[in-house]
Amino acid sequence: MTPNLNLWLIPILPLAGAAINGFFGKKSSRTAVSTIALVFCGAAFVWALSVAWRFSSLPEIPHQEYLAHWIRSGSFVADFAFYLDPLSLVMLLVVTGVGFLIHIYSVGYMWDDPGYYRFFSYLNLFMFFMLTLVLANNYLVMFIGWEGVGLASYLLIGFWFTKDSAASAGKKAFIVNRIGDFGFLIGLFLLIQHFPSLNFTDVFEGVPRLTPGAGTETLLTTVGILLMIGACGKSAQIPLYVWLPDAMEGPTPVSALIHAATMVTAGVYMVARSHVIFERAPIALTVVAIIGTLTALFAATIGITQTDIKKVLAYSTVSQLGYMFMACGVGAFSAGIFHLMTHAFFKGLLFLAAGSVIHAVGGEQDMRKMGGLRSYIPWTFLTMGTATLAIAGIPPFAGFWSKDEILWKAYQQNWVYWLIGVITAFITSFYMFRLLFMTFWGDYHGIQVDAHGRVHAAHGDDGHGEPHESPMVMLVPLMILAVLSLVGGWVGIGNRFEHFLAPVFGSGEVAEAGKEAATNFTEYLLMGVSVLVAALGAILAWVLYVSKPYLPQKIADGFGSFYEAVLNKYYVDELYAALFVKPLVDGSTRILWQGVDRKVIDDSINDAADGARHVSDNVRHMQSGNLRSYAGWIAAGSAAVIAYMIWLGVGR
């Protein structure tokens, strides 16, 4: 008898919070709104913890729980049911844990916002969908969560919808995601056609049973690539990454939760979840690896030139997601999930700390107008420093363990992946320390740069004349995440994390552990290289942005047009606008609007109306109001009918 863990509680609790705040939040006090949001989100976290506690005693992995039936059509069954295995457990804890911390942080960050209740309602709604995505036991329920987080992301990016840029960023995210979802959906249709089921167990048991051959390989490759397109949209990979940097228009906690720690990793989760399909589709796997590697490098180079603190982090997120894809692509799914987890800690922390910085300097996001904040906001500085060390891959911080794992696995597959990965690691370390140095070292530029600062200071109560530390409610999550960024990677020592995930990904990877002993030297060498590279990146950033701050401009001038291109994000947005958006808008305007809508639909309706009016114009003269003419018509009509009947009678 399998125990009932009541998994349905985990997603339902945040939904209840969202509903209560959404319906009644407008009239409640801020304290009530935040209490409800925190209690429901926290309850989900506590329940997830209790599930984790009882996880080891489960007799059967994966553990499945049935909630209600949904679609039953012939042999096709898709139910509201949950699927718990080590992979979903890791995701569950990351999502509820980091999500809960970010909820706490948001209480402080959003306190002055008029849309306070709306924000928490959306945030809880996001938690509901994300947990549905993670816990689903079939692709269709996963797809509900998948689309739902897209909706929540759209709502939260466009949270300040009166700002034009935020509204259009929301739309951009939604539309770009739609492209990916299209691929995902077609992949699902193919699965239905061939397995007639979308349940994970059915598909994963069905795949190995397929007869080997070209047909099977083509099918699985197609499905794999289609699923990957979906993952590219959600996880912001080339070519669909363009929405993520724009998504920074949303409030910073949203950037941390949705666009760094959880939602964007859904693609990685989905690829890892479908590893059975990918493992039999080597071409699709290679495509995943190539896309991941390219994205990692590409986004990292853009990150160097950005001056908006959140944009740097956004490109960094894209780049780190590229790492996770690379890991999945080389078959090291557990390494990808490991990096997903550590990334959730340190990138969530980076965003929250950036939010704290932005808060401190009164809404300024341009790093050139910061500087020297170390002494003003020491706690933020310390936590952000921890996260920077983690993402740069300095041991013993979390990022080191997971990134190294990925690089090692990539090296085993193909040294080109490894090389690009190491270059990316160098760039990552460089731009992260650049961010840190520009923000916290040197002199504070905020007041001198514009006279605004002094005006603000004169106002007094605003207190934005001088940077100030954030309230405790924001600092505590920062500290907890900082600790996690430090120790979060230790679970990977001695492949423990990999062993934990082995029931999901099979023991194939772990079996290599024996082989690793022989190549131990190589592994340590590679480890040394990546640490060295991270240190070099940090030193270079120190030289350029602390000791010789006049150099970067010179170097930028030296690169000339290349620098321009990178600064403008390789003109990808412009390219897409010219290639897709403009033809679409023009085509819609000329053909669909002026042609089809105006000429065909409108004109046919107008003509029909005109015709009807013409006819009735003539006919209405018959209705003269003259009684005798009516009588005459009736008489004539009756006479005609009688004549006809007589004629009929005669004819017979």
Partner 1 sequence: MVPLSYYLVLSGILFACGVTGFLIKRNIITIFMSIELMLNGVNLSFVAFAAHWHALAGQVFVFFVMVVAAAEAAVGLAIIIAVYRTRETLNVDQVNLLKL
Q: Which stretch binds partner 1 (CB under 8 A): 50-58, 236-244, 530-538, 623-631?
A: 623-631
Q: Which is nearer to partner 1, 557 or 617 (CB)?
A: 617
* Shortest reach from residue 21's CB to partner 1, in Å: 60
Asked if 27 interacts with partner 1 (CB under 8 A), we say no
Q: Which stretch binds partner 1 (CB under 8 A): 438-446, 455-463, 582-590, 629-637?
A: 629-637
* Mutual angle of helices 472-487 and 333-360, in 10-degree steps: 150
* Shortest reach from residue 618's CB to partner 1, in Å: 12
Q: Which is nearer to partner 1, 189 or 633 (CB)?
A: 633
* Shortest reach from residue 635's CB to partner 1, in Å: 5
Considering only 626, 648, 649, 651, the residue that binds partner 1 (CB under 8 A) is 626
Considering only 628, 648, 649, 652, the residue that binds partner 1 (CB under 8 A) is 628
Q: What is the DSSP string of 281-344?
A: -HHHHHHHHHHHHHHHHHHHHHHHH--BHHHHHHHHHHHHHHHHHHHHHTT-HHHHHHHHHHHH
* Long-range pairs for 492-500: beta carbons < 8 A, 24 or more residues apart: 492/338, 492/401, 492/402, 492/405, 493/401, 497/334, 497/338, 498/334, 498/335, 498/338, 500/86, 500/90
* Shortest reach from residue 18's CB to partner 1, in Å: 59
- Of 236, 203, 45, the closest CA to residue 137 belongs to 203
Site string for partner 1, 582-621 (x = CB under 8 A): --------------------------------------x-
Q: Which is nearer to partner 1, 494 or 632 (CB)?
A: 632
Residues 523-582 touching partner 1, rule: CB under 8 A, are none
Asked if 625 interacts with partner 1 (CB under 8 A), we say yes
Q: Which is nearer to partner 1, 458 or 627 (CB)?
A: 627
Q: What is the DSSP string of 71-135?
A: EEETTEEEEEEEEESHHHHHHHHHHHHHHHHHHHHHHHHTTT-TTHHHHHHHHHHHHHHHHHHHH
Q: Which is nearer to partner 1, 4 or 626 (CB)?
A: 626
Q: Which is nearer to partner 1, 605 or 615 (CB)?
A: 615
Q: Which is nearer to partner 1, 73 or 623 (CB)?
A: 623
- Of 7, 39, 94, the closest CA to residue 488 belongs to 94
* Shortest reach from residue 634's CB to partner 1, in Å: 9
* Shortest reach from residue 613's CB to partner 1, in Å: 13
Q: Which is nearer to partner 1, 71 or 635 (CB)?
A: 635
* Shortest reach from residue 624's CB to partner 1, in Å: 5
The CA distance from 26 to 461, in Å, is 27
* Shortest reach from residue 150's CB to partner 1, in Å: 57
- In eight-state DSSP terms, residue 138 is B
* Shortest reach from residue 607's CB to partner 1, in Å: 24
Asked if 213 interacts with partner 1 (CB under 8 A), we say no
The CA distance from 418 to 420, in Å, is 6
Give, in order, the Cα–Cα distances in Å from 112 to each of 56, 107, 166, 457, 640.
44, 10, 19, 19, 84
* Shortest reach from residue 651's CB to partner 1, in Å: 22
Does residue 86 have a cis bond before it (omega within 30 degrees)? Answer: no
The angle subtended at Cα 606 by Cα 604 and Cα 610, nearest 5°, is 115
The CA distance from 488 to 483, in Å, is 8
* Shortest reach from residue 157's CB to partner 1, in Å: 58
* Shortest reach from residue 648's CB to partner 1, in Å: 20
Q: Which is nearer to partner 1, 532 or 631 (CB)?
A: 631
Cβ neighbours around 134 below 10 Å, total: 29
Asked if 649 interacts with partner 1 (CB under 8 A), we say no
The CA distance from 405 to 327, in Å, is 9
Burial 46-76 (b: 16+ CB within 10 A, else e): ebbeebeeebeeeeeebbbbebeeeeeeeee
Q: Which is nearer to partner 1, 619 or 648 (CB)?
A: 619
Q: Which is nearer to partner 1, 213 or 625 (CB)?
A: 625
Per rule CB under 8 A, count of chain residues that contact partner 1: 10
Q: Which is nearer to partner 1, 584 or 639 (CB)?
A: 639
Distance from the first to the final alpha carbon of the chain: 87
- In eight-state DSSP terms, residue 367 is G
Considering only 1, 627, 648, 650, the residue that binds partner 1 (CB under 8 A) is 627
SS3 content of the chain, % helix, strand, coil (to 5): 80, 5, 15
Q: What is the DSSP string of 229-298?
A: HHHHHHTT-TTSTTHHHHGGGS-HHHHHIIIIISGGGHHHHHHHHTHHHHHT-HHHHHHHHHHHHHHHHH
Q: Which is nearer to partner 1, 525 or 646 (CB)?
A: 646
The CA distance from 366 to 308, in Å, is 5
Q: Which stretch binds partner 1 (CB under 8 A): 107-115, 485-493, 529-537, 631-639?
A: 631-639
Q: Which is nearer to partner 1, 593 or 630 (CB)?
A: 630
* Shortest reach from residue 608's CB to partner 1, in Å: 22
Residue in the block written with tokens 């509900």: 144
Q: Which stretch binds partner 1 (CB under 8 A): 12-20, 361-369, 521-529, 626-634?
A: 626-634
- Of 222, 14, 43, 214, the closest CA to residue 122 belongs to 14
Q: Which stretch binds partner 1 (CB under 8 A): 39-47, 72-80, 239-247, 622-630?
A: 622-630
Asked if 635 interacts with partner 1 (CB under 8 A), we say yes
- In eight-state DSSP terms, residue 60 is S
Report the SS3 class of residue 550.
coil
434's CB contacts (< 8 A; 6+ apart) are 304, 312, 541, 544, 545
Considering only 472, 539, 585, 631, the residue that binds partner 1 (CB under 8 A) is 631
| Amino acid symbol at 244 | L
* Shortest reach from residue 577's CB to partner 1, in Å: 57
* Shortest reach from residue 621's CB to partner 1, in Å: 8
**DSSP H or E segment with residue 561:** helix 561-567
Q: Which is nearer to partner 1, 209 or 620 (CB)?
A: 620
Give, in order, the Cα–Cα distances in Å from 442 to each of 312, 434, 545.
19, 12, 9
* Shortest reach from residue 650's CB to partner 1, in Å: 18
Q: Which is nearer to partner 1, 591 or 635 (CB)?
A: 635
Considering only 164, 461, 623, 649, the residue that binds partner 1 (CB under 8 A) is 623
Site residues for partner 1 per CB under 8 A: 620, 623-628, 631-632, 635
